[in-house]
Copies of this chain bind each other. A is one copy, B any other.
Amino acid sequence: MTAGRIIDALQCGHFNRDSFLALRAGGYSAVTPTLGFWEDTMGSLEALGRWRDMERDNADLIRIARSSADILAAEREGKVAIVLGYQNSNLFGGRIRFVELFAELGIRVVQLTYNNQNELASSCYEAEDNGLARFGREVVREMNRVGMLVDLSHVGDRSSREAIEHSEAPVAITHANAHSLYPHKRNKSDETIRALAARGGVIGCVAYRNITPDAACATVDGWAGMVARTVDIAGVNHVGIGTDISHNHTPRDYDWMRRGQWTRGVDYGAGSPDRPGAVPKPEWLKSPDALRDVGPALRRVGFSGEETAKILRGNWLRLYARVFDRA
């Protein structure tokens, strides 16, 4: 039974049993939690180890998925599939050989950069983006080989377009909106979204207030309308959901996400001096299980049942199968 089942390509924060119960109640088929932002190899392995423990402790609710078949199995078992991902490439520690090792440990999604330029590429917040760098070109191809999905959500525009072109497999923008719908450095140009779609990729629409139109934060129908406008850009086969929902975030977590170990100064991330701290969740999405209301809303804004199923689940599942299952 997959009608109404949802794949959310990006959430973050501290998951616990209550999180998993909420995801199951919401009809989630799969979700990608964020295992790291600035963490190095050791910290990334530690996060992975904690997720292994969480899987053992909540084996009735979740299942770490390494393939599209694992996601289908989780659906049959009434569990939520966990597709492990990082929002930065620091886990690789600058070693090309570590890509294969992390893939073997079950990591399936890695964003090339978080908020800062690194050895791979430039981020959306740098003053200039000089494109996909030498190590980035190596890592993208190695991720292709071992079946990892390249995520470009926080990556700079030029770097993103070069990664789309350089990758042999389709890539993802797991959590960003269209810049033409809400101008913000984190959101993507129509040109980049179209290039992504042309190569078979998928963009996940966000429900994070700092980068999402007010109307899309006010009501679920408003958000469904934003999805429809994104479909106008990318096509109905290339849009999915990537809410950026956070679980149990504390001020300390925001501090880590924004400042990591790289600055003693202030950084607002997607916020601004006017919005320095945590922003309120969208009115219609105060809890992860409320995401189940998106399906009916997509029908109300005019999508057919088949189209709705693609946006909720099918487009990500197709991309996951193409990327994960080739290894």
Contacts and interface: CB of A to CB of B under 8 A. Distances in A.
Interface of A: 41-42, 45-46, 48-50, 52-53, 93, 95, 97-98, 100-101, 104-105
A52 B97 contact: yes
By Cβ-Cβ distance, the 6 closest A-B pairs, closest first, are A49-B97, A101-B105, A104-B105, A41-B42, A45-B101, A45-B98
Contacts of A101: 45, 48-49, 52, 105
Contact of A45 (B41, B48, B49, B52): B41
Contacts of A52: 97, 100-101
A170 B49 CA distance: 26
Q: How many copies does the complex hold?
A: 2
A97 B41 contact: no
A42 B104 CA distance: 16
Given A104-B104, A104-B105, A105-B104, A98 B49 contact: yes
A298 B45 CA distance: 47
Contacts of A104: 104-105
A42 B50 CA distance: 19
A55 to B, nearest CB: 11
Contact of A42 (B46, B49, B53, B93): B93
Contacts of A42: 41-42, 93
A45 B95 contact: yes
A42 B49 CA distance: 16
A49 B105 contact: no
Given A41-B45, A46-B95, A48-B101, 8 more contacts: A42-B42, A45-B95, A46-B97, A49-B98, A49-B101, A50-B97, A104-B104, A104-B105
